[in-house]
Structure formats: C-alpha cells, structure tokens
A and B are shown apart, each in its own frame.
Chain A
C-alpha cells in the first residue's frame, strides 16, 4: 500500500524565519510528487516534482525531490503570517491508473 509521511506534524515560527517541511514516501510505481497549501478551504497547488535534484521555485517557496532516498522537502524563506496553513504532500502512483496518496500534512503557524 502506498504511504506518505510528513514531518513535523506542526510547526510554530516567527515572521522572517525559514522553514523546511519534509515528506517521505513509499509507492509501488512512482510518477510524481505534489505539494499543496491548504488554508480554511480546498488545497491549492504549489509544485509538481518528477525528477530528482531539480529544484522548483516560486517566490519564497522552493521544493526538491530525492527519488533515491524517497523524500522531498518544501522550503519557505522569510515566512509571513499569510504562509500559515496546512501543507500537504501527495504522491502519484502511475501504475495502470492514476492514484494520489496524501500525507497527513504539516500545520505551519507563523506568528508576527
């Protein structure tokens, strides 16, 4: 059974700090890894990673995948209170059908 484990489960930081969120996975037929941000509504897409070692970047957020060690990290630099959210990691099992397995998420709280 596919499995995604995120750590830490929750994190409290001050504005301006840099945070690193972790996602490790086990999947029988890896296709891609997705990161989402969820505030008090539906998850919004951040990144899709398919290749090892290639950093994806969007503003203060960046992410990288290690397919050998089966993990990904999401970095947020110069955090702002608006970054407070649950960050979800999901892996896509590309087998014969497309199936997404989500981790439980990391709750990030950024205090002013």
Chain B
C-alpha cells in the first residue's frame, strides 16, 4: 500500500498571503488529521476529519481551516499568513485499529 502523501513538500510565502496544503491518506483510511510542528511547541494537533466532517479541532485561530473530500483526500488552508506560521505541517491517516501513519510533511516558510 502507498503511504500518506503530501504536496507540496516545500513552500515559501510572504506575510499576508494564504496557502493550501494537500494530503492523500493511505488507501482505505477515512480519518485524516493535521498537525503543526515547530521547534518550540513540538507537535500540535490542528484538526481531524472523518468522512468529510471535522470531528475535532485544536487550539488554533480561525485562519487555519480544512476540508475533506469524498475520496478522503484532505486540504488545509491558512489565510493571512504570519511569520509564526512557519513550521512543518504533517498530515496523518488513521487505520481502523487506531494507528496513525504520518506523511512526509510540508515545510512552510513565511518571510
């Protein structure tokens, strides 16, 4: 089975812009979660989608949003980018036995 894929792998944006990241889960996995990883804060949960519905949300401002499509692919959007949004954004898909598998991540740099 192919693993979790994320595109793009690297992004450079400037403050005030918006960005959309994409994630394709492992085939058959219906749950997709998003995380932000920074050196200072570690891995922080953003949100989880299951069958196109957001089931859980972390403590992030409304500038961070997401969606899931009927094929389980998910996108995450960050609007009005700030310098502090520079991070590795990880997507993970979850199996029926609740094991999460991570994608390679998208490294976002905000200048």
Contacts and interface: CB of A to CB of B under 8 A. Distances in A.
Contact of B99 (A34, A103, A104, A105): A34
Interface of B: 31, 33, 35, 42-45, 48, 55-56, 90, 94, 97-105
Contact of A99 (B43, B48, B103): B48
Given A31-B98, A32-B98, A41 B48 contact: no
A68 B97 CA distance: 23
Nearest to B90: A42
A6 to B, nearest CB: 9
Contact of A42 (B31, B48, B99, B103): B103
Contact of B56 (A48, A90, A99): A99
Contacts of B103: 42
A43 B90 CA distance: 9
Nearest to A1: B59
12 contacts: A32-B98, A36-B102, A41-B104, A42-B105, A44-B102, A45-B100, A88-B43, A97-B55, A98-B48, A99-B48, A99-B56, A101-B45
Tell me if A's interface is mostly helix, strand, loop or mixed: strand
Contacts of A44: 102
**What bracket does the count of chain A residues touching chain B fall in?**
20 to 34
B99 A45 contact: yes
B42 A102 contact: yes
Contacts of A27: none
Interface in A73-112: 88, 90, 92, 97-105
Given A88-B43, A98-B56, A105-B42, A34 B100 contact: yes
A36 B43 CA distance: 12
A42 B98 contact: no
A92 B31 CA distance: 14
Interface in A38-56: 41-45, 48
Contacts of A100: 33, 45, 100
